[in-house]
Amino acid sequence: QKEVEQNSGPLSVPEGAIASLNCTYSDRGSQSFFWYRQYSGKSPELIMFIYSNGDKEDGRFTAQLNKASQYVSLLIRDSQPSDSATYLCAVNRSNTGKLIFGQGTTLQVKP
């Protein structure tokens, strides 16, 4: 079982729609969770981080965490073509400080 799992996609949504990206993790001891966006040929950039169960909103982005289900998600409202990228879920492996990444979900927002 992979430590962090994501559906590789591609996930295709029309412009203006809500994109929903999901991630599961195996380490119950993990306490912090991150979403990164990566454009082709570039390094990842941090979108959001979440530590507590529930929702965390930042602009068009909402991260959701359910530790009991070991599930993290990212919602992107009013999706724009510029949001087309690969979205990486990352989990801080418990007691190590190491950030472990899922394989990423490719999002395509069509005009």
Using CB under 8 A, list all residues that contact another protein. 32, 34, 36, 41-46, 49, 51, 88, 90, 97-104
- The 10 Å Cβ neighbour count of residue 36 is 21
> CB-wise, 17 or 49, nearer to another protein?
49
For the CB of residue 55, give the shortest distance to another protein in the complex, in Å: 18
For the CB of residue 43, give the shortest distance to another protein in the complex, in Å: 4
Are 49 and 102 within 8 A, CB to CB? no
Question: Rounded to the nearest 5°, which phi and psi values hold at 104?
Answer: 90, 150
